[in-house]
Amino acid sequence: MSKIKVELFQIAAFVAFAVLALHSASAQDAQKQAAKRPPAATSPSAGQRAFESTCSPCHGLDGRGGERAPDIATRPEVTRLSGQDLLKILREGIPQKGMPPFAALGSAKLSALLTYLRSLQGKGPLAPVAGNTGRGKELFWGKAGCSACHMVDGAGGFLGRDLSNYGENHSASEIRAVIVKPEITAGTRGHVALVTAKDGNSYSGLVRNEDNFSLQLQSLDGTFHLFSKSDLASITYRQESLMPADYGSKLSDADLDALVAYLASIARTKQKRGDEFEY
Protein backbone atom coordinates (compact mmCIF):
# COMPACT_ATOMS: atom_id res chain seq x y z
CA MET A 1 0.00 0.00 0.00
CA SER A 2 1.37 3.39 -0.95
CA LYS A 3 2.17 6.03 1.62
CA ILE A 4 -0.66 8.29 0.35
CA LYS A 5 -3.25 5.51 0.69
CA VAL A 6 -2.07 4.79 4.22
CA GLU A 7 -2.44 8.44 5.20
CA LEU A 8 -5.92 8.67 3.65
CA PHE A 9 -6.93 5.53 5.51
CA GLN A 10 -5.65 6.96 8.79
CA ILE A 11 -7.53 10.23 8.22
CA ALA A 12 -10.76 8.39 7.42
CA ALA A 13 -10.39 6.23 10.53
CA PHE A 14 -9.80 9.29 12.68
CA VAL A 15 -12.87 11.07 11.29
CA ALA A 16 -15.02 7.98 11.85
CA PHE A 17 -13.76 7.66 15.42
CA ALA A 18 -14.45 11.37 16.10
CA VAL A 19 -18.01 11.12 14.74
CA LEU A 20 -18.65 8.00 16.81
CA ALA A 21 -17.30 9.68 19.96
CA LEU A 22 -19.41 12.80 19.34
CA HIS A 23 -22.53 10.72 18.79
CA SER A 24 -21.87 8.76 21.98
CA ALA A 25 -21.37 11.96 23.99
CA SER A 26 -24.60 13.43 22.60
CA ALA A 27 -26.52 10.29 23.49
CA GLN A 28 -25.16 10.32 27.04
CA ASP A 29 -26.05 14.00 27.42
CA ALA A 30 -29.59 13.33 26.18
CA GLN A 31 -29.94 10.49 28.70
CA LYS A 32 -28.77 12.76 31.52
CA GLN A 33 -31.27 15.47 30.54
CA ALA A 34 -34.07 12.92 30.31
CA ALA A 35 -33.20 11.60 33.76
CA LYS A 36 -33.60 15.09 35.21
CA ARG A 37 -37.14 15.38 33.86
CA PRO A 38 -40.00 13.76 35.81
CA PRO A 39 -41.62 10.77 34.12
CA ALA A 40 -44.51 11.85 31.89
CA ALA A 41 -46.99 9.69 33.80
CA THR A 42 -46.33 11.49 37.10
CA SER A 43 -46.14 15.09 35.86
CA PRO A 44 -48.97 17.49 36.73
CA SER A 45 -50.03 17.65 33.07
CA ALA A 46 -50.42 13.88 33.03
CA GLY A 47 -52.68 14.08 36.08
CA GLN A 48 -54.76 16.79 34.45
CA ARG A 49 -55.04 14.81 31.21
CA ALA A 50 -56.08 11.72 33.15
CA PHE A 51 -58.69 13.71 35.08
CA GLU A 52 -60.10 15.38 31.98
CA SER A 53 -60.44 12.09 30.10
CA THR A 54 -61.50 9.88 33.01
CA CYS A 55 -63.28 12.00 35.62
CA SER A 56 -64.51 15.26 34.08
CA PRO A 57 -67.25 13.71 31.88
CA CYS A 58 -69.14 12.97 35.11
CA HIS A 59 -67.63 15.26 37.77
CA GLY A 60 -66.99 18.34 35.59
CA LEU A 61 -63.69 19.91 34.52
CA ASP A 62 -63.33 21.65 37.88
CA GLY A 63 -64.42 18.60 39.86
CA ARG A 64 -67.40 20.45 41.31
CA GLY A 65 -70.03 18.12 40.00
CA GLY A 66 -71.94 17.41 36.83
CA GLU A 67 -75.20 15.89 35.75
CA ARG A 68 -74.04 12.36 36.46
CA ALA A 69 -71.74 12.64 39.48
CA PRO A 70 -71.28 14.77 42.61
CA ASP A 71 -68.81 17.47 43.62
CA ILE A 72 -65.45 15.94 44.55
CA ALA A 73 -63.53 19.22 44.81
CA THR A 74 -65.28 21.00 47.68
CA ARG A 75 -67.53 18.49 49.47
CA PRO A 76 -66.07 18.05 52.99
CA GLU A 77 -66.79 14.31 53.07
CA VAL A 78 -64.54 13.94 50.01
CA THR A 79 -61.82 16.51 50.71
CA ARG A 80 -61.10 15.12 54.17
CA LEU A 81 -60.47 11.59 52.88
CA SER A 82 -56.85 10.47 53.11
CA GLY A 83 -54.72 9.91 50.04
CA GLN A 84 -54.89 6.15 50.57
CA ASP A 85 -58.70 6.24 50.76
CA LEU A 86 -58.95 8.25 47.54
CA LEU A 87 -56.54 5.95 45.72
CA LYS A 88 -58.60 2.96 46.82
CA ILE A 89 -61.74 4.59 45.42
CA LEU A 90 -59.95 5.36 42.15
CA ARG A 91 -58.69 1.80 41.87
CA GLU A 92 -61.83 -0.06 42.96
CA GLY A 93 -64.56 2.43 42.11
CA ILE A 94 -67.90 2.60 43.92
CA PRO A 95 -70.05 0.15 41.93
CA GLN A 96 -73.19 0.70 44.01
CA LYS A 97 -73.09 4.40 43.10
CA GLY A 98 -72.24 3.89 39.47
CA MET A 99 -68.53 4.79 39.65
CA PRO A 100 -66.37 2.30 37.73
CA PRO A 101 -62.88 1.15 38.84
CA PHE A 102 -59.81 2.63 37.16
CA ALA A 103 -57.13 0.18 38.26
CA ALA A 104 -56.27 -0.33 34.58
CA LEU A 105 -54.67 3.12 34.52
CA GLY A 106 -51.76 1.80 36.56
CA SER A 107 -50.14 3.10 39.73
CA ALA A 108 -48.23 5.98 38.12
CA LYS A 109 -51.26 7.50 36.39
CA LEU A 110 -53.47 6.99 39.44
CA SER A 111 -50.88 8.80 41.56
CA ALA A 112 -50.78 11.67 39.06
CA LEU A 113 -54.58 11.74 38.99
CA LEU A 114 -54.71 11.94 42.79
CA THR A 115 -52.18 14.81 42.79
CA TYR A 116 -54.31 16.77 40.32
CA LEU A 117 -57.50 16.07 42.27
CA ARG A 118 -55.80 17.35 45.43
CA SER A 119 -54.90 20.55 43.59
CA LEU A 120 -58.58 21.02 42.66
CA GLN A 121 -59.41 20.54 46.32
CA GLY A 122 -56.95 23.26 47.30
CA LYS A 123 -54.63 20.71 48.89
CA GLY A 124 -51.73 21.05 46.48
CA PRO A 125 -48.57 23.08 47.16
CA LEU A 126 -49.60 26.27 48.96
CA ALA A 127 -48.96 29.47 47.05
CA PRO A 128 -47.69 32.36 49.16
CA VAL A 129 -50.34 34.88 50.20
CA ALA A 130 -49.46 38.52 50.83
CA GLY A 131 -51.04 40.36 53.73
CA ASN A 132 -51.02 40.58 57.49
CA THR A 133 -53.16 37.75 58.86
CA GLY A 134 -53.63 39.41 62.26
CA ARG A 135 -54.80 42.62 60.64
CA GLY A 136 -57.16 40.61 58.43
CA LYS A 137 -58.71 38.97 61.47
CA GLU A 138 -59.29 42.40 63.04
CA LEU A 139 -60.98 43.59 59.85
CA PHE A 140 -63.16 40.49 59.55
CA TRP A 141 -64.50 40.87 63.08
CA GLY A 142 -64.44 44.66 63.09
CA LYS A 143 -64.27 47.42 60.48
CA ALA A 144 -65.09 45.28 57.43
CA GLY A 145 -68.16 43.83 59.15
CA CYS A 146 -67.79 40.39 57.55
CA SER A 147 -68.77 38.59 60.75
CA ALA A 148 -72.21 40.21 60.68
CA CYS A 149 -73.18 37.79 57.92
CA HIS A 150 -70.45 35.13 57.79
CA MET A 151 -69.43 32.50 60.27
CA VAL A 152 -65.92 31.19 60.98
CA ASP A 153 -65.35 28.19 63.23
CA GLY A 154 -68.80 28.42 64.78
CA ALA A 155 -68.85 32.17 65.46
CA GLY A 156 -70.31 35.00 63.40
CA GLY A 157 -73.43 35.68 61.39
CA PHE A 158 -75.90 33.40 59.64
CA LEU A 159 -76.98 35.13 56.44
CA GLY A 160 -73.84 34.46 54.38
CA ARG A 161 -72.03 31.22 53.79
CA ASP A 162 -69.73 29.69 56.40
CA LEU A 163 -66.18 30.75 55.48
CA SER A 164 -64.34 28.31 57.73
CA ASN A 165 -63.17 26.26 54.75
CA TYR A 166 -63.59 28.80 51.96
CA GLY A 167 -59.86 29.36 51.48
CA GLU A 168 -59.35 25.63 51.05
CA ASN A 169 -60.90 25.60 47.58
CA HIS A 170 -60.36 29.17 46.41
CA SER A 171 -57.15 30.94 45.48
CA ALA A 172 -56.15 34.33 46.90
CA SER A 173 -57.16 36.03 43.65
CA GLU A 174 -60.59 34.35 43.73
CA ILE A 175 -61.18 35.39 47.34
CA ARG A 176 -60.22 38.98 46.55
CA ALA A 177 -62.50 39.04 43.49
CA VAL A 178 -65.50 37.96 45.58
CA ILE A 179 -64.81 40.72 48.11
CA VAL A 180 -64.27 43.51 45.57
CA LYS A 181 -66.81 42.54 42.89
CA PRO A 182 -69.48 40.36 44.50
CA GLU A 183 -72.09 41.31 41.91
CA ILE A 184 -70.32 39.36 39.16
CA THR A 185 -69.37 36.38 41.28
CA ALA A 186 -71.60 33.32 41.25
CA GLY A 187 -73.13 32.40 44.58
CA THR A 188 -73.11 35.86 46.18
CA ARG A 189 -76.49 37.01 44.94
CA GLY A 190 -79.45 36.40 47.22
CA HIS A 191 -83.18 36.91 47.53
CA VAL A 192 -83.62 39.71 50.05
CA ALA A 193 -86.98 41.08 51.07
CA LEU A 194 -88.42 43.90 53.14
CA VAL A 195 -91.85 43.02 54.49
CA THR A 196 -94.36 45.16 56.33
CA ALA A 197 -97.02 43.44 58.40
CA LYS A 198 -100.55 44.74 58.71
CA ASP A 199 -99.83 45.60 62.34
CA GLY A 200 -97.22 48.13 61.14
CA ASN A 201 -94.07 46.21 62.04
CA SER A 202 -91.36 45.87 59.35
CA TYR A 203 -88.82 43.10 58.86
CA SER A 204 -85.96 42.60 56.43
CA GLY A 205 -83.72 39.67 55.69
CA LEU A 206 -82.99 36.74 53.44
CA VAL A 207 -85.88 34.76 52.01
CA ARG A 208 -85.35 31.16 53.05
CA ASN A 209 -88.67 29.64 51.97
CA GLU A 210 -91.68 30.97 50.14
CA ASP A 211 -94.86 29.64 48.59
CA ASN A 212 -98.22 31.13 47.59
CA PHE A 213 -99.38 31.39 51.17
CA SER A 214 -96.34 31.88 53.41
CA LEU A 215 -92.92 33.50 53.61
CA GLN A 216 -89.97 32.58 55.84
CA LEU A 217 -87.43 35.32 56.44
CA GLN A 218 -84.09 35.17 58.25
CA SER A 219 -83.04 38.51 59.70
CA LEU A 220 -79.48 39.77 60.17
CA ASP A 221 -79.24 38.41 63.72
CA GLY A 222 -80.10 34.92 62.50
CA THR A 223 -83.69 34.95 63.75
CA PHE A 224 -86.27 33.21 61.55
CA HIS A 225 -89.66 34.81 60.97
CA LEU A 226 -92.55 32.90 59.45
CA PHE A 227 -95.36 34.98 57.97
CA SER A 228 -98.70 34.18 56.48
CA LYS A 229 -98.98 36.34 53.38
CA SER A 230 -102.52 37.25 54.33
CA ASP A 231 -101.05 39.06 57.37
CA LEU A 232 -98.63 41.17 55.30
CA ALA A 233 -99.35 44.64 53.96
CA SER A 234 -96.43 44.64 51.49
CA ILE A 235 -93.42 42.67 50.29
CA THR A 236 -90.51 44.37 48.52
CA TYR A 237 -87.86 42.16 46.92
CA ARG A 238 -84.23 43.06 46.17
CA GLN A 239 -82.09 41.03 43.80
CA GLU A 240 -78.71 42.70 44.27
CA SER A 241 -75.82 40.88 45.91
CA LEU A 242 -75.97 40.48 49.66
CA MET A 243 -72.31 41.45 49.79
CA PRO A 244 -71.56 45.19 50.18
CA ALA A 245 -70.37 46.57 46.85
CA ASP A 246 -68.02 49.22 48.25
CA TYR A 247 -65.20 47.14 49.72
CA GLY A 248 -62.96 48.12 46.81
CA SER A 249 -63.12 51.77 47.90
CA LYS A 250 -63.84 51.27 51.59
CA LEU A 251 -60.75 49.14 52.18
CA SER A 252 -57.18 49.88 51.13
CA ASP A 253 -55.12 47.42 49.08
CA ALA A 254 -53.25 46.48 52.25
CA ASP A 255 -56.55 45.87 54.05
CA LEU A 256 -57.80 43.67 51.21
CA ASP A 257 -54.55 41.70 51.21
CA ALA A 258 -54.87 41.24 54.96
CA LEU A 259 -58.48 40.07 54.74
CA VAL A 260 -57.60 37.58 52.00
CA ALA A 261 -54.61 36.35 54.03
CA TYR A 262 -56.83 35.77 57.07
CA LEU A 263 -59.44 33.77 55.14
CA ALA A 264 -56.71 31.72 53.45
CA SER A 265 -54.91 31.12 56.75
CA ILE A 266 -57.99 29.55 58.36
CA ALA A 267 -58.20 26.83 55.74
CA ARG A 268 -54.42 26.39 55.60
CA THR A 269 -54.27 25.81 59.34
CA LYS A 270 -56.98 23.17 59.01
CA GLN A 271 -55.16 21.62 56.04
CA LYS A 272 -51.87 21.45 57.93
CA ARG A 273 -53.56 19.71 60.84
CA GLY A 274 -55.23 17.28 58.46
CA ASP A 275 -51.96 16.50 56.69
CA GLU A 276 -50.47 15.37 60.00
CA PHE A 277 -52.97 12.50 59.98
CA GLU A 278 -53.04 11.94 56.23
CA TYR A 279 -51.57 8.45 56.32
Terminal alpha carbon distance of the chain: 77
pLDDT single digits (tens) 136-149: 999 999 999 999 88
Average pLDDT over residues 9-17: 51
**The predicted structure's pLDDT at residue 255:** 94
Residue 31, pLDDT > 80, answer no
Of 206, 170, 210, the residue nearest 189 (C-alpha) = 206
Domain that holds residue 68: 41-120
In a domain, 222, yes or no: yes
pLDDT band at 29 (very low <50, low <70, confident <90, very high): low
Q: Is residue 85 part of a domain?
A: yes
**Distance (Å, whole) CA 123 – CA 80:** 10
Residue 174 falls inside a structural domain: yes
pLDDT of residue 279: 32
CB 250 within 8 A of CB 200: no
In DSSP terms, 275 is beta-bridged to none
Q: Are 205 and 82 part of one and the same domain?
A: no
The residue among 44, 67, 46 whose CA lies nearest residue 56 is 67
Q: Do 262 and 148 share a domain, yes or no?
A: yes
Same domain? 51 vs 178: no
Residues 140 and 265 both lie in one domain:
yes
Query: What pTM was computed for the model?
Result: 0.50
The CATH number covering residue 98 comes to: 1.10.760.10
pLDDT > 70 in the chain, percent: 72
Average pLDDT, integer, range 60-78: 85
- Of 250, 264, 272, 271, the closest CA to residue 131 belongs to 264
Distance set, CA 161 to CA 2, 107, 151 (Å): 96, 38, 7
Nearest alpha-carbon partner for 178 in 106, 256, 108: 256
